[in-house]
């Protein structure tokens, strides 16, 4: 089968590498892709992941048999709907179902209506009412823009002043454009966070190995939030007992809620959990694989990813047996110096072969090819994943490989996999 993957980051590289192992895949394409993905797939850098018409054109022109739509934007823009309307099989939720991620108010209302454990919250379209609510509730308190905001639409405010500033920035400052016209103000939950990526076809829901990511740029979870500086799986916090509670109190009720509301979610449902003293609660849903969680979870998958994706689309997931290997995986992100603030691009990267020779897999996130050499082309540049019998083994191996890689200004955290955070 000829398969097209949409996106161009480390997560898409991990999806492409796993799809390349499939017996069913004869040819792999990726749009836009990146310099590393080009080792595994024919890339189409001219087709942006947000250009649904161009994606449909490419899929038709290349006569692809199956498209995996990976990032949030094309999903929210109805890429899967547009492909399917042209008779092209596509993996991922419809634009309607993708509101689980693209509208925090949509998913919050669903959770409220069906009693799914999450932070208490109120929705505001009027700024003065929002400010008065913040004043009445006190801090700490969480302010969220409704729509997609590149992961930056959430402010966990320690003081009332900070929360009010966030409300003003979102509702009057236009900081997030239309995404900030409505805000959600939430109770601040306390606990450790775990990500449970699930395959779901609307009839059944199958959790993958639970994972954890590290969002802050510096060690000990200091500094600003990033797209993710590393991840590992399985999460030791996600014990059998918590897994059971999560399935009974969150995963199955979520599936039931979507069904009762009359929509079908087919694809990957990302369930971000906070393990509070009252049990697991939902921090957020995303409508896709997580980045960089995927770079730690998919290497543990033994089953054929394309077979699973096809079963999801055809609602046959319940008949599939999904196998996972034992042991752990850890992914260390190498970022450009200065990220998540401004950074320079075009730094020559060395040591990639040495890193892979140690048995690790190097996923490219922001790289380009220049004069025959890989150079940096983004904030997050690479994700280095290694496997091990234990989490500690995986982390040690991943760091061993990551330290083989050099470019000017390279930054990585040195505490990925630490369970103290």
Q: How far is the CB of 149 from ligand GLY (least distance, A)?
A: 12
Report how far residue 182's alpha carbon sits from residue 212's, in angstroms, rounded to the nearest whole number.
Answer: 29
Q: How far is the CB of 353 from ligand GLY (least distance, A)?
A: 28
The tokens describing 11, both together, are 């997560």
Question: Which one of 64, 142, 166, 412 is in contact with ligand AMP (CB under 6 A)?
Answer: 142
The tokens describing 58, both together, are 């490419």
- Residue 213 touching ligand AMP (CB under 6 A): no
Of the candidates 113, 81, 82, which has an alpha carbon nearest to the alpha carbon of residue 97? Answer: 81
Looking at beta carbons only, is 122 or 187 nearer to ligand AMP? 187
The one-character DSSP state at 188 is: P
The tokens describing 43, both together, are 């890339």
- Residue 293 touching ligand GLY (CB under 6 A): yes
- Residue 193 touching ligand AMP (CB under 6 A): yes
Q: How far is the CB of 226 from ligand AMP (least distance, A)?
A: 12
Q: Is 419 left (phi over 0), alpha (psi -120 to 50) or beta?
A: alpha
Stretch that binds ligand GLY, among 132-140, 286-294, 298-306, 374-382 (CB under 6 A): 286-294
Report how far residue 144's alpha carbon sits from residue 36's, in angstroms, rounded to the nearest whole number.
Answer: 34
User: Cα-flanking dihedrals φ and ψ of residue 186, to 5°?
Assistant: -125, 150
Contacts of 399 (CB under 8 A, 6+ apart): 332, 414, 416
- Residue 119 touching ligand AMP (CB under 6 A): yes
Looking at beta carbons only, is 186 or 293 nearer to ligand GLY? 293
Question: Which one of 291, 308, 331, 355 is in contact with ligand GLY (CB under 6 A)?
Answer: 291
Looking at beta carbons only, is 72 or 186 nearer to ligand AMP? 186
User: Cα-flanking dihedrals φ and ψ of residue 377, to 5°?
Assistant: -145, 15
Q: Which pairing describes strands 183-187 and 121-124: parallel, antiparallel, or unpaired?
A: antiparallel
Question: Which one of 101, 146, 186, 291 is in contact with ligand AMP (CB under 6 A)?
Answer: 186
Looking at beta carbons only, is 194 or 368 nearer to ligand GLY? 194
Q: Is 191 left (phi over 0), alpha (psi -120 to 50) or beta?
A: left
- Residue 102 touching ligand GLY (CB under 6 A): no
For residue 6, what are the β-bridge partners? 31, 69
Cβ pair 5, 19 in contact under 8 A: yes
Looking at beta carbons only, is 204 or 226 nearer to ligand GLY? 226
Which among ligand AMP, ligand GLY, none contacts residue 194 (Cβ within 5 to 8 A by kind)?
none
Cβ pair 282, 116 in contact under 8 A: yes
- Residue 213 touching ligand GLY (CB under 6 A): yes
Q: Which helix (H) or strand (E) holds 331?
A: strand 328-335
End-to-end CA separation in angstroms for the chain = 43
- Residue 12 touching ligand GLY (CB under 6 A): no
Please report which residue ranges of 277-390 form alpha helices under DSSP H: 293-297, 305-313, 352-357
- Residue 188 touching ligand AMP (CB under 6 A): yes
Stretch that binds ligand GLY, among 232-240, 256-264, 284-292, 371-379 (CB under 6 A): 284-292
∠ Cα 264 117 160 (to 5°) = 115
Stretch that binds ligand AMP, among 185-193, 262-270, 333-341, 383-391 (CB under 6 A): 185-193
Question: Which one of 154, 181, 243, 354 is in contact with ligand AMP (CB under 6 A)?
Answer: 154
The tokens describing 84, both together, are 């399917």
Question: Which one of 36, 207, 253, 290 is in contact with ligand GLY (CB under 6 A)?
Answer: 290
- Residue 156 touching ligand AMP (CB under 6 A): yes
- Residue 272 touching ligand AMP (CB under 6 A): yes
Of the candidates 111, 315, 84, which has an alpha carbon nearest to the alpha carbon of residue 206? Answer: 315
Stretch that binds ligand AMP, among 25-33, 183-191, 235-243, 361-369 (CB under 6 A): 183-191
- Encoded one letter per residue, x for contact with ligand AMP by CB under 6 A and - for no contact, window 38-57 reads --------------------
- Encoded one letter per residue, x for contact with ligand GLY by CB under 6 A and - for no contact, window 18-37 reads --------------------
The tokens describing 75, both together, are 């999903």
- The residues of the shown chain that bind ligand AMP, judged by CB under 6 A, are 119, 142, 151, 154, 156, 186-189, 193, 272, 283-284
- The residues of the shown chain that bind ligand GLY, judged by CB under 6 A, are 213, 228, 286, 290-291, 293
């Amino acid at each position: 089968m000829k398969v097209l993957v949409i996106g161009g980051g480390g997560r898409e590289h991990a999806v492409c590498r796993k799809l390349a192992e499939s017996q069913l895949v004869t040819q792999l394409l990726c749009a836009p892709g990146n310099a590393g993905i080009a080792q595994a797939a024919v890339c189409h850098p001219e087709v942006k992941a947000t250009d649904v018409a161009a994606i449909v054109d490419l899929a038709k022109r290349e006569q692809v048999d199956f498209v995996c739509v990976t990032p949030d934007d094309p999903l929210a823009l109805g890429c899967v709907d547009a492909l399917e309307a042209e008779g092209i099989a596509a993996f991922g939720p419809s634009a309607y179902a993708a509101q689980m991620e693209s509208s925090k108010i949509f998913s919050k209302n669903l959770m409220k209506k069906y009693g799914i454990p999450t932070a208490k919250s109120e929705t505001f379209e009027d700024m003065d009412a929002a400010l008065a609510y913040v004043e009445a509730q006190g801090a700490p308190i969480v302010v969220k823009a409704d729509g997609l905001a590149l992961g930056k639409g959430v402010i966990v405010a320690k003081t009332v002043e900070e929360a009010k500033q966030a409300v003003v920035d979102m509702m009057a400052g236009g900081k997030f454009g239309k995404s900030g016209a409505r805000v959600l103000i939430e109770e601040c939950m306390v606990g450790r966070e775990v990500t449970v990526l699930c395959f779901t076809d609307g009839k059944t829901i199958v959790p993958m190995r639970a994972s954890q990511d590290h969002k802050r740029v510096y060690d000990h979870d200091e500094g600003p939030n990033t797209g993710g500086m590393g991840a590992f799986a399985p999460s030791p916090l996600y014990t059998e007992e918590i897994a059971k509670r999560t399935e009974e109190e969150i995963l199955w009720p979520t599936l039931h809620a979507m069904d009762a509301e009359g929509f079908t979610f087919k694809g990957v449902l990302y369930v971000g959990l906070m393990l509070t003293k009252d049990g697991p609660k939902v921090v957020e849903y995303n409508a896709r694989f997580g980045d960089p969680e995927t770079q730690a979870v998919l290497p543990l998958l033994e089953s054929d990813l394309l077979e699973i994706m096809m079963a999801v689309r055809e609602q046959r997931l319940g008949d599939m047996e999904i196998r996972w290997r034992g042991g752990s995986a850890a992914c260390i992100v190498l970022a450009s110096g200065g990220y998540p603030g401004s950074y320079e691009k075009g730094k020559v990267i060395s040591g990639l072969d040495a890193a892979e020779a140690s048995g690790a897999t190097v996923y490219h996130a922001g790289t380009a090819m220049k004069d025959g050499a890989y150079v940096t082309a983004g904030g997050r540049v690479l994700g280095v994943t290694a496997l091990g019998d234990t989490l500690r083994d995986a982390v040690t191996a991943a760091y061993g490989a990551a330290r083989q890689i050099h470019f000017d200004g390279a930054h990585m955290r040195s505490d990925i996999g630490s369970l103290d955070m």
